[in-house]
Structure 1
Amino acid sequence: MAQVVPGLEVFLEDPPAWARGVPLGLLCHPASVDRKLRPAAKLVAERLPGQLQVLFSPQHGFLGEKQDNMVASPDFADPRLKLPVFSLYGPRLDPPMEVLQGVRVLLVDLQDVGTRVYTYGATLARVMTAAARAGVKVAILDRPNPIGGLQVEGNILKPHWASFVGPYPLPMRHGFTLGELACYYNATQKLGCDLTVIPARNWRRAEYFDQTGLPWVLPSPNLPTLEGALVYPGQVLLEGTNLSEGRGTTRPFELFGAPFLEPWRILQELRSISPPGVILREAAFEPTFHKWAGELCWGFQLHVTDRWAFKPYYTTLVLLSVIRRLYPDQFSWRQPPYEFEYERLPIDLLTGDGAIREAIDAGHPIPELEAAWQPELEGFLRESQAFRIYH
């Protein structure tokens, strides 16, 4: 099977006419590399000398150094390329119009993880909206969806619950690459962006990242492994609770727990509703930072045994349902603020529908919730076919 070539390299092999001789901007992060792990900013600057004028960064910063949510990245000057870097996460979520108007084309090279709440999609949507107003072309240098492009899961976000962890209606696991998501948003939300996608060569939708031959570079500080990305579409919901999602450990999102959990009791409850494709291994850990820092947490590590059977969103909802029922006085939903939202509950923003939390609080079975959202998910699947670049 031919090795996958990221859109970055496809672009650099033969830059299109619209990219030649014009001022360029680049939105990127540490995972924006070629197959030899060379950074995109350096490669673009060398391939198109004098054209790259400005750099932009998403959440976690241009250098990828910011660990947590709502930790702003400062603007600064890249010391090697001598270019300004403007952060698009923090007090400013949109590119400054006067800066954007200084380029003709904005290149975007970000490694997404196929999950609605991962904020790179929201940043891209805001960039596209601003670019449309400024008359600037946006070109996505596309990369594979690391958790595959065939499986989709979850309820569709309700517009009332739109936020920076979900600007538009979309299921939690959407199956798109970032380039496909950009096309979907541009059309369904009528953003009016002059958009081009440079596809990754040789990628097939059924492939997970470890089948591409590409090197894994953590797309954000708390997704150091592909295994973490596999469980992320579900385990990210723990950010909306007082349970540790494993931040402050070496396996965030795979590990989760709290001092008050009793793993053996939870396993007993799961016997009648065992989530498919995953083994919950009892584990204890002590986070070095974040929730329950320095305290012994009891919980689990998720080991995915069958990627095609595993349903990350369903799995975590089942776990939350059981834990909510077993520990009504100790478990709690996290309170705002969360991702620049100061009033609505984080869990409602994450699920995209406050009715999900209400159903868990009321003890409704998760299989019934899953069955209820299937018709809208099937509608999304039909609609999404028109935006699929890869087969």
Structure 2
Amino acid sequence: MFFWVALGFLSFQGADTPVLSGVDVLRKDEGAVSGRVGLITNHTGVARDGVSTLTVLRDELGVDIVALFSPEHGYWGDVAAGDDVGSTTFSAILIHSLYGDTRAPTPEMLDGIDTLVFDIQDIGVRFYTYISTMKLAMEAAAAAQIGFVVLDRPNPLGGVRVEGPVLDPDFASFVGIAPIPLVHGMTAGELARLFAASMTGLELEVIQMRGFRRSTLWKDTGLSWNPPSPNIRTARAALAYPAFGLIEGINVNEGRGIEDTFERIGAPWIDGEKLAAALSQAELPGVRFRSTSFTPRAIAAAPRPKYRDEICYGVAMTITDEARFEAVRTGLTTIATIKALHPEAFEWVRRGEGYWIDLLLGTDRPRRALEDGMAVDAIVGREASELARFIEHRRAYLLY
């Protein structure tokens, strides 16, 4: 269990006090963000009582908000994954899209701005693109010599679990923006500190949370779940995402087109009973499986699901112990098992000249190893030393 190498001694316990996100701390202390501000946010940028960060900053604290910036899924979080987001206006403020013609603020967008403020709920998985937006915006702020402030928020997966390959720079992309593990166990503010270490001239400030510690999971925060994207509807889906999100890399539906996305997977050609039995026999920690069937439909959250309107057979996954659950091992074992049960139907999803699974994992090592017949335990085990190095490296940037 590769994340236990350095962190297994930490226990998972609830917070002693309710968690206050960065915006709540700023509000409580009546702190100020100076000058003309560009706010990078979406519908998840809210205070504990549901008031938007825009309202808190502009109307309560008197901050001069001159521009808004939105990530993938748009300002309201209703655009399907991968679809371009257009620029628009809200509350008489221009919203610049950072998921359309550009993924980073341009010099023209930053003209007249003194500080960028970032407040978006991330989910702790490298291929979830909000941290990519943050890093590119930080680089733009450094180039423009303006300040960058992060209003920190909880990592729903907590700060203990660290899993998955550390990204190989040769596989860097918008779903893999930096050499960090797939499950990194860091908050956005902590990641910003790590990213800033390789930038020149960036003035970074992180407004830290209160009541959060490394062992805090989402259920311990007392915060309401606000789906950060259309298919992460629940905190359960966020926990499952680094496991069954990897299913995007093969020709199996990852639950898009149904309500419990990333908790059920299937394809018309899978024997769900055999797959459930094989995964149960693998005795993966903190999780159980049962056979299932479903029919993906074109819905707003997934307008183009795999096997649209076809009956898919597969498995439903239930996480029974969040502290023991190993998402990446579970995802790779599921892929390996489907490949073994259905070798003639199984395919890797191509992306341009390469494979989507390689971009999700940040390396081609697991795919090549699975093709060579290597056991998942061996695949996971050979990443342990690099993970241990990352765990040591990140210590300097942790805040909690």
Range into which the TM-score falls when normalised by the shorter chain: over 0.9
2:63 & 2:336 partners in 1: Cα distance?
A: 56
- CA-to-aligned-CA distance 1:51-97 (integer Å, 9 cap, x gap): 1000000100011111122x01100111xx20000010122111121
Q: Which position in structure 1 is the counterpart of 2:196?
A: 186
Q: Which amino acid aligns with 1:85?
A: I
Change (3 A) 1:283 1:267: closer
1:148 & 1:162 partners in 2: Cα distance?
A: 25
Given that residues 185 and 191 in structure 1 are in contact (C-alpha distance below 8 angstroms), is that contact kept between their aligned partners in structure 2?
no
Q: Which position in structure 2 is the counterpart of 1:305?
A: 320
- CA-to-aligned-CA distance 1:219-256 (integer Å, 9 cap, x gap): 11110101001111121111112111111111110111
1:30 & 1:310 partners in 2: Cα distance?
A: 29
Q: Which amino acid aligns with 1:238?
A: I
| 2:56 paired with 1:43 | yes
Given that residues 135 and 195 in structure 2 are in contact (C-alpha distance below 8 angstroms), is that contact kept between their aligned partners in structure 1?
yes
* Stretch moving more, 263-272 or 92-101: 263-272
Q: Which amino acid aligns with 2:205?
A: T
Q: Which position in structure 2 is the counterpart of 1:257?
A: 266
2:97 & 2:194 partners in 1: Cα distance?
A: 25
Change (3 A) 1:35 1:357: same
Given that residues 28 and 108 in structure 1 are in contact (C-alpha distance below 8 angstroms), is that contact kept between their aligned partners in structure 2?
yes
The secondary structure found in structure 2 opposite 1:172 is strand
| 2:383 paired with 1:373 | yes
Given that residues 154 and 218 in structure 2 are in contact (C-alpha distance below 8 angstroms), is that contact kept between their aligned partners in structure 1?
yes
Given that residues 233 and 312 in structure 1 are in contact (C-alpha distance below 8 angstroms), is that contact kept between their aligned partners in structure 2?
yes
Asked which structure has the greater RCO (Cα within 8 Å, sep 6+), the reply is 2
1:197 & 1:101 partners in 2: Cα distance?
A: 23
1:218 & 1:87 partners in 2: Cα distance?
A: 20
Q: Which amino acid aligns with 1:30?
A: H
Q: Which position in structure 1 is the counterpart of 2:158?
A: 148
The secondary structure found in structure 1 opposite 2:318 is strand
Given that residues 23 and 51 in structure 1 are in contact (C-alpha distance below 8 angstroms), is that contact kept between their aligned partners in structure 2?
yes
Q: Which position in structure 1 is the counterpart of 2:43?
A: 30
Q: Which position in structure 2 is the counterpart of 1:339?
A: none
Given that residues 101 and 136 in structure 1 are in contact (C-alpha distance below 8 angstroms), is that contact kept between their aligned partners in structure 2?
no
2:244 & 2:107 partners in 1: Cα distance?
A: 36
Given that residues 128 and 191 in structure 1 are in contact (C-alpha distance below 8 angstroms), is that contact kept between their aligned partners in structure 2?
no
Q: Which position in structure 1 is the counterpart of 2:135?
A: 125
2:30 & 2:355 partners in 1: Cα distance?
A: 45
The secondary structure found in structure 2 opposite 1:347 is helix
1:1-391 aligned at under 5 Å gives the runs 1-16=16-31, 19-20=33-34, 22-49=35-62, 51-69=64-82, 71-78=83-90, 81-187=91-197, 189-190=198-199, 192-270=201-279, 272-289=281-298, 290-336=305-351, 342-390=352-400
Change (3 A) 1:301 1:269: closer
Structure 1 portions without partners, runs of 5+: 337-341
Q: Which amino acid aligns with 1:7?
A: G
1:213 & 1:28 partners in 2: Cα distance?
A: 21
Given that residues 132 and 194 in structure 1 are in contact (C-alpha distance below 8 angstroms), is that contact kept between their aligned partners in structure 2?
yes
Q: Which amino acid aligns with 2:21?
A: P
- CA-to-aligned-CA distance 1:239-289 (integer Å, 9 cap, x gap): 112111111111110111111111222234335522111011211111112
1:237 & 1:323 partners in 2: Cα distance?
A: 13
2:237 & 2:245 partners in 1: Cα distance?
A: 10
Q: Which amino acid aligns with 2:45?
A: S
The secondary structure found in structure 1 opposite 2:165 is coil
Deviation at 1:191, TM superposition (A): 5.2
RMSD across aligned C-alpha pairs, in angstroms? 1.4
Change (3 A) 1:50 1:387: closer
Given that residues 129 and 192 in structure 1 are in contact (C-alpha distance below 8 angstroms), is that contact kept between their aligned partners in structure 2?
no
**TM-score, normalising length from structure 2?**
0.92
2:317 & 2:72 partners in 1: Cα distance?
A: 26
Deviation at 1:13, TM superposition (A): 2.8
2:276 & 2:122 partners in 1: Cα distance?
A: 33
The secondary structure found in structure 2 opposite 1:24 is strand
**TM-score, normalising length from structure 1?**
0.94
1:62 & 1:72 partners in 2: Cα distance?
A: 12
Given that residues 157 and 351 in structure 1 are in contact (C-alpha distance below 8 angstroms), is that contact kept between their aligned partners in structure 2?
yes
Given that residues 72 and 81 in structure 2 are in contact (C-alpha distance below 8 angstroms), is that contact kept between their aligned partners in structure 1?
no
Q: Which amino acid aligns with 2:28?
A: E
Given that residues 29 and 58 in structure 1 are in contact (C-alpha distance below 8 angstroms), is that contact kept between their aligned partners in structure 2?
yes
2:120 & 2:274 partners in 1: Cα distance?
A: 41
Q: Which amino acid aligns with 1:134?
A: A
